[in-house]
Chains A and B, each alone.
Chain A
Amino acid sequence: MSRIIPFRQALREAMQEEMRRDDSIFLMGEEVAQYNGAYKVSQGMLDEFGERRVIDTPIAELGFAAIAVGASSNGTRPIVEFMTWNFAVLALDQILNHAAKMVSMSGGQFSCPIVFRGPNGSAGQLGAQHSQAFESWYANIPGLKVISVSNPYDAKGLLKSAIRDNDPVVFMESEVMYGDEGEVPEEEYLIPIGKARIAREGNDVTIVSFNKMMKVALGAAEELAKEGISAEVIDLRTIRPLDWETIVNSVKKTNRLVIVEEQWPFASVSSEISYRVQKEAFDYLDAPIRRITSADTNMHYAPNLVAAYLPDVPRTVKLVKEVMYLVK
């Protein structure tokens, strides 16, 4: 049986189910307990699990990340909620230098089964410091796995897998998607880390995206369909490890690739995909790989500048037509 539930509830159910199953899991972060979550993801969890397992922290991202990483090396499985990934930059030392290196520096003796999760990317007119997308930053780091989800079904199945994973996992959500509703089964299910999903089948062009830019990718595919262009849309779901086989198989069918992402362009997820596709499917490409990213600037406040900064449907449609040589 399936129900239609909001994104935040799907995330909450993943944590609740896993915490009922395994006492070593706890949730820690700013406003997660008494306030019921800055974005109400953890609503009701303090009531169910108590203060021992749902823990409010001071505003000290580096400090509570460090405590969670230390705790994960000593028999617990923390879930750390960052109010946004913008604030998690303060904790990067613990994620990059400690969590990601615990297994290797200790020669495999100690591990770090931990999930760092929270909203990522822009969420309206929030200005430069609250609007950044970090997938490519974390995807650069050996020792981490990076998940970035676009819908409630994937959010629940992948968060459960992330919590059960024995390595540190970075899990990216979005403020503007927490209210999005989607079909989620009543029954328990898991989605494997490292597998992309074909969100829409098509033959003429492949569009790859993830997180809330999937709305742009699917919106563009819808517009293109009106003009008789059949776009295949792939939702990466996991950024590291990247499921490049699914992309390459699609490109072998469509011979054209457009990537839509909210990263900045330099050394972004699209950069890595483009390298992989030219290497694995060079002879299948009928046009250069193209991409649409956030602007190579800081985000400004004015609404027109926000719109100009982010990828959108019209520009994606135009890019697809360019790789199909329908427009110049």
Chain B
Amino acid sequence: MQTPFGKETYLYWYEIMLLLRRFEEKTGQLYGMQKIRGFCHLYIGQEAVAAGTMTAIRDDDNMITAYRDHGLAIAKGMSPKECMAELYGKATGCTKGKGGSMHFFSKEKRFFGGHGIVGGQIGLGAGIAFADMYHNNDRVTVCYFGDGAARQGLLHETFNMAMLWNLPVIFVCENNYYAMGTSIERTSKTLDIYRLADAYDMPADSVDGMSCEEVHKAMERAVRRAREKGGPTFLEVKTYRYRGHSMSDPAKYRTKEEVEEYKDKDPINQVLKTIMDNKWATEAEIEAINEKVRQEVEESVQFAEESPWPDDSELYKDIYVDENYPYITD
């Protein structure tokens, strides 16, 4: 099988997607056991979006997304340990037990969150890009949101200014067809979300989000455009979440057949098939990757279990940078 991508790329895609899948499956189990609380939105099914992005961007590029953030955070380089500990609410979590599932952040990995107000991060992402343009460096920002957020007014205000100011930002709509329980047909007459960019003369593409190759190719073009001061791009990436919107959603608004149809296009299976067809790995080597991922997830759970809760005194920390802020306490 001919492919423009080599063995290394496919093995990376396989391992990172498997890690995201196994991490989220474990997260779902632990949620059922009430080890993880709060709102929790799993990334299962959408892994190719994260994997295809990561091979097209630089480590020092910026990423920001909504509350379905576990997959992108880990793909961006955050450790499963700090992420699992955050899901538990432990002091060793990526935000010290302050953000939880919806608010993963890592300054070191340039992962700007994890945001809980649908669409709010669309403007923030443009702003992060604005700062890099202001300081005249060549970083780009990848800003993710869902098909639900595409119906927010902030998208239009942001698209307009991002084009006006030629910001180095890539807007990625992860269209998984459901805004919580409302299918895209029920939220707009414009079903091709990428066409929203037309109103602002923004280059846009519709991308197969079940394919790492397609995500990578579209992302690479967009990244080059942004890095070479060509301005923003809007990618509508058609993907699918196998689970409900959040852990409390039984997803009765769609059929089992629809879910199974997408599982047939599963990105992990597709990448594995390419690896095996090209004889880039033996079954034993694949098994070794599977085992490594299994261990990594197990270790993250053990780490979270053994970590302490944040100290009660943390209640009044990290609200302000100003450490002497006089809180009202009575």
- Are A58 and B157 touching (Cβ within 8 A)? yes
Please indicate the chain B residues that have their CB under 8 angstroms from the CB of A279 in the complex: 330
Q: How far is the CB of B60 from chain A (nearest CB, A)?
A: 12
Q: How far is the CB of A66 from chain B (nearest CB, A)?
A: 2
Please indicate the chain B residues that have their CB under 8 angstroms from the CB of A57 in the complex: 161
- Are A98 and B107 touching (Cβ within 8 A)? no
**In the complex, what residue of chain B is closest to A100 when comparing beta carbons?**
B319
Given known pairs A104-B319, A110-B105, A166-B321, the reply for A69 and B123 (CB within 8 Å) is yes
Please indicate the chain A residues that have their CB under 8 angstroms from the CB of B115 in the complex: 98
**In the complex, what residue of chain B is closest to A107 when comparing beta carbons?**
B95
Please indicate the chain A residues that have their CB under 8 angstroms from the CB of B126 in the complex: 66-67, 70
CB within 8 Å of A: which B144-188 residues? 153-154, 157-158, 160-161, 164
**Which of A37-45, A72-80, A201-209, A212-220 lies at the binding interface?**
A72-80
**In the complex, what residue of chain B is closest to A142 when comparing beta carbons?**
B319
- Are B135 and A167 touching (Cβ within 8 A)? no
Q: Tell me the complex Cα distance, A206–B98, Å.
A: 42
Please indicate the chain A residues that have their CB under 8 angstroms from the CB of B157 in the complex: 58, 60, 62-64, 66
CB within 8 Å of B: which A199-250 residues? 241
Per-residue interface assignment for chain B, residues 118 to 134, with 1 indicating a CB less than 8 Å from any chain A CB and 0 otherwise: 00101111111111101
Cβ 8 A contact of B123, one of A94, A109, A113, A142: A94
- Are A143 and B161 touching (Cβ within 8 A)? no
- Are B122 and A74 touching (Cβ within 8 A)? no
Q: Tell me the complex Cα distance, A94–B116, Å.
A: 12
Given known pairs A70-B131, A110-B105, the reply for A64 and B161 (CB within 8 Å) is yes
Per-residue interface assignment for chain B, residues 247 to 283, with 1 indicating a CB less than 8 Å from any chain A CB and 0 otherwise: 0000000000000000000000000000000000000
- Are B120 and A103 touching (Cβ within 8 A)? no
Q: Tell me the complex Cα distance, A81–B229, Å.
A: 27
**In the complex, what residue of chain A is closest to B127 when comparing beta carbons?**
A70
Given known pairs A58-B160, A60-B160, the reply for A105 and B112 (CB within 8 Å) is no
- Are A66 and B319 touching (Cβ within 8 A)? no
Q: How far is the CB of A158 from chain B (nearest CB, A)?
A: 15
CB within 8 Å of B: which A90-126 residues? 93-94, 97-98, 103-111, 113
- Are A71 and B120 touching (Cβ within 8 A)? no
Cβ 8 A contact of A111, one of B94, B112, B321: B321
The number of chain A residues touching the other chain, given as a range, is 35 or more
Q: How far is the CB of A1 from chain B (nearest CB, A)?
A: 33
- Are B95 and A143 touching (Cβ within 8 A)? no
Please indicate the chain B residues that have their CB under 8 angstroms from the CB of A106 in the complex: 95, 98-99, 103, 105, 107, 113, 318
CB within 8 Å of B: which A27-58 residues? 52, 57-58
Given known pairs A52-B134, A104-B319, A143-B320, the reply for A63 and B120 (CB within 8 Å) is no
Tell yes or no: A18 within 8 A of B by CB: no
Per-residue interface assignment for chain B, residues 310 to 330, with 1 indicating a CB less than 8 Å from any chain A CB and 0 otherwise: 000000011111100111001
- Are A74 and B128 touching (Cβ within 8 A)? yes
User: Number of contacts between A and B (CB, 8 Å)?
Assistant: 151
Tell yes or no: A182 within 8 A of B by CB: no
Cβ 8 A contact of A165, one of B114, B161, B322, B326: B322
Please indicate the chain A residues that have their CB under 8 angstroms from the CB of B321 in the complex: 103, 111, 113, 166-167
- Are A69 and B103 touching (Cβ within 8 A)? no
Q: Tell me the complex Cα distance, A79–B318, Å.
A: 22
Per-residue interface assignment for chain B, residues 205 to 223, with 1 indicating a CB less than 8 Å from any chain A CB and 0 otherwise: 0000000000000000000
Tell yes or no: B300 within 8 A of A by CB: no
Q: Tell me the complex Cα distance, A60–B125, Å.
A: 16
- Are A67 and B123 touching (Cβ within 8 A)? yes
Q: How far is the CB of A91 from chain B (nearest CB, A)?
A: 10
Given known pairs A68-B127, A69-B127, the reply for A94 and B120 (CB within 8 Å) is yes
Tell yes or no: A153 within 8 A of B by CB: no
Please indicate the chain A residues that have their CB under 8 angstroms from the CB of B161 in the complex: 57-58, 60, 63-64, 67
Please indicate the chain B residues that have their CB under 8 angstroms from the CB of A66 in the complex: 120, 122-124, 126-127, 154, 157-158
Please indicate the chain B residues that have their CB under 8 angstroms from the CB of A288 in the complex: none
- Are A103 and B319 touching (Cβ within 8 A)? yes
Q: Tell me the complex Cα distance, A57–B125, Å.
A: 17
- Are A167 and B105 touching (Cβ within 8 A)? no
Q: How far is the CB of A107 from chain B (nearest CB, A)?
A: 3
The interface of chain A, by Cβ under 8 A from chain B, is 24, 26, 52, 57-58, 60, 62-76, 93-94, 97-98, 103-111, 113, 142-143, 145, 165-167, 194, 241, 279
List 7 A-B residue pairs with CB atoms under 8 Å apart, sorted by A's residue number.
Answer: A24-B135, A66-B122, A70-B128, A97-B116, A109-B95, A109-B107, A167-B322
17 additional A-B pairs beyond A166-B322, A167-B325, beta carbons within 8 Å, are: A24-B135, A64-B157, A66-B120, A69-B127, A70-B64, A72-B131, A73-B131, A74-B128, A75-B135, A97-B120, A98-B115, A106-B105, A106-B113, A107-B99, A109-B95, A109-B106, A143-B319
